[in-house]
Structure 1
Amino acid sequence: MNWRTRGIFRIAGIGIFGSLLLAGSWLGTPAPLRASNERRGEHTAQEASANFENLSGRKRANISAGGLEAPETGWSLGENLLVNGDFSKGLEGWRTSARCFHPDFLTRAPNGKPSLKMENTYSCGPFAKLAVNEFVAPPGVYSIGGEIKAPDLIDPKMPIAGAQMDLFTDCETQLVNGSSEWLEFAAKHCIVAPGTNSPFRIAINGKSSGSFWFANMYVRKEIAPLFETFMLYPNHRGYLFADQAQEVRVAVTLNPGPYLRREDLVIQLEAVRSDSGAKTDRTYKSPPDDFTATLDFGPLPAGAYQVRATLLGRNGEVLFEQPPYRVVKVNSEPGALLKAWIDDRNLAHFGDGAPHFVIGIYDTSGYSNSPEYYARAINEISQAPINMLINYMITNAPISAINAYTDALQEHGIFFLPSVNNFYEDARWYPRGLAAKLGASTQDDFTARYASALEKNRAIVGYYVQDEPKVDEVARTFHQYQIIKANDPAGFNLVVLDRPRDVQFWKDAVDVVGVDPYPVWLPVENYIAEVGDWTRMAVQAVHASRPVWTVIQFYQATAIASWPTEQQLHDMSWMAIAEGASGVFYWSHGMRALGWVRDPAEKAALLGSLVRVTKEIKDLEPVLLRPDTQVLTAKPSQDIVTREKSGADGARYVIAYNHGSAAALARFVLQSPAQSVTVRRGMVKVEIKDGKTFEDEFDGYEAKVYEIR
C-alpha cells in the first residue's frame, strides 16, 4: 500500500531522508500527552431504539453501535533524556562534523536557549548529514522532537530536515519545509523493543542547501496513566446479542507507581443504562498489575450502557478514571439487524450471515455506472475464491458507480470495503467532487453522508480507513470511526499497518487490524518468518480479542527482488493463519503488481499460483472456522510453530511452519492414535510410528498442513 515505497528503510538504511519517507509523526509540543478530539461533540453516538426487546427483521431499527466513547487519557511525558539536548553546552554529547554543524549562541530559540547551526552542507558530502546524540534509549515508549528554523532553502517545497531514532520501528518526526520562523516538530509513540540499541539523530537531506538551526531537541519517555482498560468482550462495536455470552470482560492494566500503596487501591467496574440510570457494578480490592474485570449482563434489561472503570483510593475518593465503553445489549441475534459483524471468536459474518474466513485482494481500476465495465477484472480475480475486495480507485466514484461495482462483485460472491482513508480535507486525494455531489459542507459531513448512502448496500461490509498510516492518524481515525458507526452501524472498519508495534495504539480506533510484512525484498536470504512475527505481535496487542487480517505480498518489491514463488505465497499465507489471523489479503491485482505484468504467460503463471494457494485455504475453511483444539502433546521442535484444529467429522489438523531459515526436523506426538497422516499440499502420506508419532522435515520457513485421521 502507499505504492509500497517503505522498503527503502530496509535496503537503504540511513537514506531515509533522501527518500523523504515519513513514519510515526505526531505534531505537538513536549507537553503531557492527552488523548483528545476537538471535533468529537459534532457527531455523538446516536441512541439505540428504546424497544431493544423487539428489534427484529433485517433492518437497522435505529440501533446504534457501541465501543470506546472517547480516546484513552492520562498519559504524560518524563524528563528530557538527551545529553545536552538544548545545546547550552555547545556540542557536548553530540557527534557530528564540525565542517557542517556548530553551536550558535547568537541565534536563540524562543525560550532563549542557544541553537545548533547547520550550513555549508556541500562540505560534508552528498549523503544525509547527521548529528548523533550519546543517549541510547532502553526499552520503552518515547516521544521525540525539537524546534527548527530553515529560512533560506533553494527549494522551499522540498521537506528536507527532521529527527529520527534509529530502530524505533522507523520512528521519525515529520520532515520540515523552509521557514523563517521557529517550527516545532515531533513524533510520538516511538517504541524501543528489548535488545535494540537506538541513538537519537538529527538528519538533513544530502541534496539540501542553505542554513538550518535546531534547538531544544528532546527524547522523553511516555509515562502510562494510573491504569488502562481495553474491552475484551463484547469485541465488536459493543454489541451484546441474545445468542452470545452475557459476561462483559475488560482487561485492566494498573500502573500505580511508587507513591500509591496497592492495599489502599480499588478498581470499580460499573455499567449504567443511558436512559434509566439502572446499573450494576463490581469492585476489585488490592488489584494486581494485570487482570480481567467482569460484569454479568445476564440479569440486565436490554439497552445501551456505559461501562466505566474507576480507580478509588483508601477512603473511596476517585483517583483516576478512563473514558467509558458503550455496550448495547439487544434481545436479538446479530443476523436480524446487521448486514455484517464480527462474532465472539473474531470471525467475520457477511453475505449469508454465516461466518467466513476472509480471503481478500486489493485492486485498482476506474469506475462506471455499468456493471459490465468491471467484468474482465472481476472475472480474472474470481478465479481465486476471493470473498472480499479493496479498490483504491473507486474512492472518487459516485454512489451509483459504487453500486454498479458491487453488483458486478456480487455475481461472484465478493464483498467490498470502500476506501475512506483520504476523507480529510487536508489529504492530497480528498474526493472534493464526490463530497460536493453529496452536498457535504465539511469532511465530517462528507463521511456521514457517504456512510449513510452505502448503509443499505449489503455488499458493503465495512470501510478501509487507513493504509500504512502514521501513529498521529489515530485520533482522527477514531473520530471518523464514531461518524461511520453512527451512520452505518453494521460492518467493520479495517486499518493495515506497516509497523506492527503500533497496533496497541490502534486497537480501539477500528474493528479489524491488518499488518503487511512483505518480506521478499532481496534476491536471497529474505526473512520470510516476518509474516508470522507481525501477525503474532498484532494478535497479542489486541489480546486476541479483535480480528487480525494479514496482507500477503503478491508483487515484486524491487528491481533486484522477484515475485514471491508459489511456495513462498503458500508459506506466508499459512504462517499468518498459524499465528492467529482470521483472514488474509493479497496485494495486489492492480498497479505496481499483477496489473503491471505485461507478459501474458508470466501473468497467467502468477495468477495461477495465487489461485492454487487460495483454493487450498478455501478448501479448509470449515476447519479454520472451528475453535482451536489440542491435537499434539508438545511442541514438535524449537523452530516449529503450530496451530491445531479438528473437523466436524472428527479429523484432526495441524497447521505448522518452520520459523527458522535452516531445514528442521520435527517430531509430532498425537494425544490419541491415528490411522493416517497426510500433508494436504501434494497429498503426501507421512508414516505413523506407534500409532501416535510421526516425523517430518521442513525447509527453511516452510509451512505444512497435516490432516490426521
Structure 2
Amino acid sequence: MCRRRRGTFRVAGIGIFASLLLAGCSSGTNAPLKASNERRGEYPAPKASPDFEHLSQRKSANISAGGLEAPETGSSLGGNLLVNGDFARGLEGWHASARCFRPDSATRAPNGKPSLKIENPDSCGPFAKVAVNKFVAPPGVYSIGGEIKTPDLAEPRRLVVGAGMDLFTACETEVVNGTADWQQLVGKHCIVAPGTHAPFQLAINGETSGSAWFANMYVRREIAPLVRIFMLYPNYRGYLFADQPQQVRAAVTLNPGPDLRRQDLVFRLEAMRTDSGAKTDHTYKSPADDFTATLDFGPLPAGVYQVRATLLGSDGKVLFEQPPYRVVKLDSKPGVLLKAWIDPDNLAHFIDGNPHFVLGIYDTTGWSYAPASFVKGLAAIRKAPINMIINYFLSNAPTPAVTAYTTAMKQFGITFLPDVSGFHTGSSAFPTGIANEFGTDDPDQLITDYVSTFTSDRAVVGYYVQDEPAITAQPETFHQYSVIKAADPSGFNLAVLDRPLDVPFWKDAVDVVGVDPYPVWLPVGNYIAEVGDWTRMAVQAVHASRPVWTVIQFFQADSVSSWPTEQQLHDMSWMAIAEGANGVFYWSHGIRALGWVRNPAEKAALWGLLVRVTNEIKDLEPVLLRPDTQVLTAQPSQDIVTREKTGEDGVRYVIAYNHGSDAAPARFVLRSPAQSVTIRRGMVKVEIKDGYTFEDKFDGYEAKVYEIR
C-alpha cells in the first residue's frame, strides 16, 4: 500500500527520466515526475561559556583519521532484462500511455540502434507521459539507464512536478534538460524490496512541445562482489584510543556463487602497520556467508595500520580483495586530541567532552559579522534544549560571519554543522562567495581551506554534507569525506537520506547517517510509524555500528495537511528513539516551516509544542546515554515495540510505541519485581500486579515512556 505522499514542488526546466517504480504505487499516467528538495528555497546570499573556553585552550589534534581508504569494489552487472530495450522491434514489449510515443528508425543511437521518439507531448494531454516495459523487476538491486536526446523541447511556463512514488523502492535517473547530443541516463543501486515488484518506465513532463528520443534502455541486476566487509569497530574514523576496546571487528559477507566450493575458501583479515610492516592476521577456513571477523590490536604498538580483507583459494591464490580500512591506534584518549567525536556506543561527544543525546534543529537566517545580531534568534531557539543547528542560509556566508554565529551560540550551549553539500563542481548551490573569499573554485582546495578555518572553533562540530541526495552523489561525498578528515580529524559528517534503503551505500561515506521520514501529509490516515520503520532500517543497515539521527517533521506539508500535533511530535520522537536513534533533529525553525507562520500567537503556540516535547527528551538524557538492558521478559504484544534502559540509580525505563494504527492492549512482564510504574508524560501511575506485571492500552502510533521503581 502506498502511504508516502510528499506533494509536488517546483522544478525549473523540462524533466525526462527513467525509473523503477513499485507496482501499484504510481498514479498511472497522471503520476508527477521527480520531486525537488522541499526543504531548500533560494539561498540569500557575547561571552562564551566556561566549558567552551576551557576546551578551546586545547591544541588541534596532530593526528590523521582513518576509515575506508578507497571506494568499495562494487557489483558487476548482469545482462539487460528489458524486453526490446533497444527498440530493435519497435514498441514490442512496451506499453505507451500516449500516442506521442512511436519508433523512429531514422534517428539512430551512436551504436546504430533505432530509437523511441516522443513528439509534442503537450498534444497528448497535460499529464506526465509514460512508456512501461513488459519486464517487472523482482526483489533485488538493479542499475537502470540508457541514452536520450532532447534537442528542441520547450515549455510554456515553469512546471510543477513531484514524485508520487513509494520511496522505499522508487529509483530514478537524473532529470534531464534539453540537449542536442545523445547523453547517458544512469540510475544505480535501485532497490526492489522483498514482497514488491517494480516495473520500468520512461516518463516525460506534460505541457511540453518538441521531440525527444530514447535509445538502448536497460535494467541490469547488480551482482554482489565475492566479498563485502564493513568495519564494525572502530566505529569512528578508524580511531583506536587507549581507553577504548582494542579488538577490531568487521562484518563479512561472502557471495561465492556456484563456481566456488566453500570448503576450498579461506578468508583472511590482516592488519599491517604502514611504516614498519608489523602485522597481525586471522584466517577463517570454509567461512560462512555472514560472520564477524576480529583482530586483537592489544599487543600492537601505536601507529597507522591498513586492515585488509582477502578471499583465498585452497592453494593460497588470491580470489578477491577489498580496499583496506585505515585504523589509527593512539596512546591517548579522544578528549585530549579531538573537539568532537563518536564513542564506541555511537554517542556524540561535544561541547564539554562528555556524551550528549543530539537534539538538533534546522534554521534559516541572514548573516552578520556581529555575534550580537544572532543572540535574539538563538535565545528563542534555546527555549528548547537544542544543542546542534544546521542553517542552510549560511552556506555561502563569509567565514567571519560563521564565526560570529558560532560565537553567539557558545553562551547557549549550541553547536553548528555548516552546510557544505554544495561544495562540488557543477553544483547549483556551489558557494561562489566562499570561493571568492579563498580565491579558488577547486572543490578539494576550497573544502580544505573552509574546514581549516574552523578546526579550532569548538562550536563547529562537523559538517552537513548531503541533504536528501541521489545515490549518484555518494562517490563525490566519499571523496569529500577524505578531504574533510585530512583538514580536521574530529567532528561529525552528517548526510540525511530520504530513501532508507540507500543507507548501505552511504555507511562508509559519512560519520552519521540521518533519515527524514515526514509522514504527516493527509488530514487523517497518515502512517506515522514510518518514522520507526526508517530509523530501524538505517540502524540495521549500519549494523548498529554507526550513529543514526532521525529528522522529525516540524512543518505543515501543504494546504491539505496540518502541522503535527504535540502528541504526534511526541510519538514520532520517541518511536525514533525506541528504534535506536542516537539523536533527533527537527525540520524546521526556518522558512517553509515555522519561519513562514505569520501569526505571532500561532507561531508561539507551535514552538511551545516542540519546547515541551524536547524538554521531555532532555529530562531523560542521562538514561538515554546508558546502554540498553533487558527489563522485560518478552514483547508486550505484537504491535508494541520497546527499548529498555536502566538508570545509574537502578531505576528501569521502558520506551514503547504502538506500530499499528489501531488501539492496542499491552501486557508488560518484568524480569525482577518493582513497587511502582509511572508513565512519564503526565506522571500517570499504572497499577502493577504481583510486583511483576502491568497492563496498558496504546492509541494508534502512540509512544510512552515508563519509569519503573
Contact residue 22 and residue 172 of structure 1 kept, 8 A: no
- Equivalent in the alignment of 1:248: 248
- Equivalent in the alignment of 1:28: none
Counterpart-to-counterpart distance in 2, 1:473 and 1:682: 45
89-98 or 332-341, larger mean C-alpha shift = 89-98
Contact residue 8 and residue 162 of structure 2 kept, 8 A: no
Contact residue 342 and residue 349 of structure 2 kept, 8 A: yes
Contact residue 29 and residue 130 of structure 2 kept, 8 A: no
- Equivalent in the alignment of 2:426: 426
Task: Find the residue that maps to 2:643 and give its secondary structure.
Answer: strand
The aligned runs of 1:337-376 (5 Å cut-off) are: 337-376=337-376
The aligned runs of 1:298-309 (5 Å cut-off) are: 298-309=298-309
* Aligned partner letter, 2:231: M
- Cα distance, 1:426 vs. partner? 1.2
* Aligned partner letter, 2:582: S
Contact residue 142 and residue 219 of structure 1 kept, 8 A: yes
Contact residue 496 and residue 515 of structure 2 kept, 8 A: yes
- Equivalent in the alignment of 2:612: 612
- Equivalent in the alignment of 1:29: none
- Equivalent in the alignment of 2:391: 391
* Aligned partner letter, 2:450: Y
1:21 aligns with 2:15: no
- Equivalent in the alignment of 2:289: 289
- Equivalent in the alignment of 1:543: 543
- Equivalent in the alignment of 1:702: 702
Contact residue 164 and residue 173 of structure 1 kept, 8 A: no
Counterpart-to-counterpart distance in 2, 1:583 and 1:547: 8
Distance 1:700 1:165, change over 3 A: closer
Counterpart-to-counterpart distance in 2, 1:582 and 1:426: 34
* Aligned partner letter, 2:265: L
- Equivalent in the alignment of 1:275: 275
- Cα distance, 1:14 vs. partner? 5.3
- Equivalent in the alignment of 2:181: 181
- Cα distance, 1:530 vs. partner? 0.2
- Equivalent in the alignment of 1:45: none
- Equivalent in the alignment of 1:30: none
Counterpart-to-counterpart distance in 2, 1:593 and 1:408: 23
Distance 1:473 1:633, change over 3 A: same
The aligned runs of 1:143-542 (5 Å cut-off) are: 143-155=143-155, 169-542=169-542
Q: TM-score, normalised by structure 1?
A: 0.92
Counterpart-to-counterpart distance in 1, 2:166 and 2:610: 36
Task: Find the residue that maps to 1:361 and give its secondary structure.
Answer: strand
Counterpart-to-counterpart distance in 2, 1:696 and 1:198: 41
- Cα distance, 1:429 vs. partner? 2.2
- Equivalent in the alignment of 1:651: 651
Counterpart-to-counterpart distance in 2, 1:162 and 1:386: 32
- Equivalent in the alignment of 1:665: 665
- Equivalent in the alignment of 1:37: none
Counterpart-to-counterpart distance in 1, 2:219 and 2:477: 26
Counterpart-to-counterpart distance in 2, 1:622 and 1:122: 60
Task: Find the residue that maps to 2:311 and give its secondary structure.
Answer: strand
Deviation per residue, 1:487-530 (Å, 9 max, x gap): 11011100000111110000000000000001000110000000
- Equivalent in the alignment of 1:35: none
- Equivalent in the alignment of 1:591: 591
* Aligned partner letter, 1:289: D
- Equivalent in the alignment of 1:568: 568
Task: Find the residue that maps to 1:494 and give its secondary structure.
Answer: strand
Q: TM-score, normalised by structure 2?
A: 0.92
Task: Find the residue that maps to 1:83 and give its secondary structure.
Answer: coil
Q: How many residues align?
A: 673
Task: Find the residue that maps to 1:595 and give its secondary structure.
Answer: helix
- Cα distance, 1:462 vs. partner? 0.5
Contact residue 654 and residue 705 of structure 1 kept, 8 A: yes
Distance 1:159 1:90, change over 3 A: farther
- Equivalent in the alignment of 1:51: none
Task: Find the residue that maps to 1:657 and give its secondary structure.
Answer: strand
* Aligned partner letter, 2:422: N
The aligned runs of 1:106-117 (5 Å cut-off) are: 106-117=106-117
Counterpart-to-counterpart distance in 2, 1:168 and 1:588: 23
- Cα distance, 1:86 vs. partner? 1.1
- Cα distance, 1:238 vs. partner? 0.3
Counterpart-to-counterpart distance in 1, 2:160 and 2:186: 15
Counterpart-to-counterpart distance in 2, 1:16 and 1:538: 32
Distance 1:157 1:309, change over 3 A: farther
Counterpart-to-counterpart distance in 1, 2:136 and 2:164: 13
Deviation per residue, 1:625-679 (Å, 9 max, x gap): 0000000000000000000000111110000000000000000000111100000
Counterpart-to-counterpart distance in 2, 1:675 and 1:16: 59
Deviation per residue, 1:232-268 (Å, 9 max, x gap): 0000000000000000001110011111111111111
330-339 or 194-203, larger mean C-alpha shift = 194-203
Counterpart-to-counterpart distance in 1, 2:300 and 2:416: 36
Deviation per residue, 1:342-379 (Å, 9 max, x gap): 00000000111111000011110011111110111101
- Cα distance, 1:19 vs. partner? 5.0
- Cα distance, 1:305 vs. partner? 0.3
431-440 or 666-675, larger mean C-alpha shift = 431-440
Distance 1:224 1:380, change over 3 A: same
Contact residue 147 and residue 217 of structure 1 kept, 8 A: yes
- Equivalent in the alignment of 2:65: 65
Deviation per residue, 1:402-457 (Å, 9 max, x gap): 11111111111001111100112311221122222123351110100011110010
Counterpart-to-counterpart distance in 2, 1:107 and 1:214: 10
- Equivalent in the alignment of 1:101: 101
* Aligned partner letter, 1:378: L
Counterpart-to-counterpart distance in 2, 1:461 and 1:167: 31
- Cα distance, 1:169 vs. partner? 2.7
- Cα distance, 1:161 vs. partner? 12
Deviation per residue, 1:98-135 (Å, 9 max, x gap): 72222222222121222112224244221111111111
Counterpart-to-counterpart distance in 1, 2:61 and 2:620: 37
Counterpart-to-counterpart distance in 1, 2:671 and 2:542: 30
618-627 or 14-23, larger mean C-alpha shift = 14-23
Counterpart-to-counterpart distance in 1, 2:519 and 2:129: 29
Distance 1:652 1:97, change over 3 A: closer
Counterpart-to-counterpart distance in 2, 1:476 and 1:352: 33
Counterpart-to-counterpart distance in 1, 2:693 and 2:7: 43
Contact residue 162 and residue 172 of structure 1 kept, 8 A: no
* Aligned partner letter, 1:142: Y
Distance 1:597 1:158, change over 3 A: closer
- Equivalent in the alignment of 1:31: none
123-132 or 380-389, larger mean C-alpha shift = 123-132
* Aligned partner letter, 1:601: A
Task: Find the residue that maps to 2:688 and give its secondary structure.
Answer: coil
Contact residue 168 and residue 198 of structure 1 kept, 8 A: no
Contact residue 27 and residue 164 of structure 2 kept, 8 A: no
206-215 or 631-640, larger mean C-alpha shift = 206-215
508-517 or 395-404, larger mean C-alpha shift = 395-404
Name structure 2 gaps, 5 residues minimum.
10-21, 38-56
Contact residue 17 and residue 203 of structure 1 kept, 8 A: no
Counterpart-to-counterpart distance in 2, 1:279 and 1:135: 51
Counterpart-to-counterpart distance in 2, 1:104 and 1:532: 49
Task: Find the residue that maps to 2:435 and give its secondary structure.
Answer: helix
Task: Find the residue that maps to 2:689 and give its secondary structure.
Answer: coil
Counterpart-to-counterpart distance in 2, 1:345 and 1:598: 42
Task: Find the residue that maps to 1:572 and give its secondary structure.
Answer: helix
